[in-house]
Amino acid sequence: MQQNVPDFTALLRSAKRSAVHLEMRDSYMEDPVFAAWREGREVDLPQEYRQWQALVKETVARGVSLRRARIVSEPATDYIRWEHALTTPHNIACGENVRWLPRRVASDLCLPGNDLWLIDEERILFHWFTGDGEWAGHEFNEEPDTVKMVTTAFEAVWDRAIPHEQYTV
């Protein structure tokens, strides 16, 4: 179901009020910056990181609330420790609001089966990954019942989640 999937940058630029991102995996595809961090090497942020930062700043400057919630296992994987230590401070500096929810306190929440972006509580872009965390595709959805379910799930996660500055890994 990858047909009719809008370009992500265009989708985020279309946001008028809100853009929320729900992440539920403990690791994702291999990233050269992550590999360098894991090996103790210092690396400049690649161009795609700087492009993301510019897009976030542009989106927030238009008055769009940008929130990211991560459901994580504890103890955290190296990937999550890297996100917490390195990438999340960059996200926050650009205007994102980020919270963390330990998986152990999410058991009674009804959650969608995949990571996603929800734009203006109207449009969803689901992301699919392989078991190894590699990109597998995505699906666009505007079905009202699915949008309502995703909105409710995200808000339940957000209400329980711990703000980045208070969460330690």
* Res. 32: pLDDT tops 90: no
Residue 3 lies in a domain: no
pLDDT digits 0-9 by tens, 119-133 = 999 999 999 999 989
Query: In this structure, are strands 115-119 and 18-23 parallel, antiparallel, or unpaired?
Result: antiparallel
- Read off the tokens for 81: 């420790």
Segments in 88-135 forming alpha helices (H): 88-94
Range of the domain at 74: 8-166
The residues with which 23 forms a beta bridge, in sequence order, are 70
In a domain, 1, yes or no: no
Where residue 30 sits, what CATH number does that domain have?
A: 3.30.870.10
pLDDT digits 0-9 by tens, 86-131: 899 999 999 999 999 999 999 999 999 999 999 999 999 999 999 9
Residue 49 falls within a domain, yes or no? yes
Residue 125 falls inside a structural domain: yes
* Residue-averaged pLDDT of the chain: 94
Asked if the structure places residue 16 within a domain, the reply is yes
Return the residue matching tokens 């329980």: 160
> Residue 68 falls within a domain, yes or no?
yes
If phi > 0 it is left, if psi is from -120 to 50 it is alpha, else beta; for residue 121 that is left
pTM of the model: 0.94
Asked, for residue 134, whether it belongs to a domain, the answer is yes
Nearest to 131 by CA among 33, 35, 26: 26
Q: Which residues of 66-87 are buried (b: 16+ CB within 10 A; e: fewer)?
A: bbbbbbbeeebeebbbbbbeeb
Kindly report, residue by residue over 36-78, the tens digit of the pLDDT.
Answer: 988 999 877 788 889 999 999 999 999 999 999 999 999 999 9
Note whether residue 2 is domain-resident: no
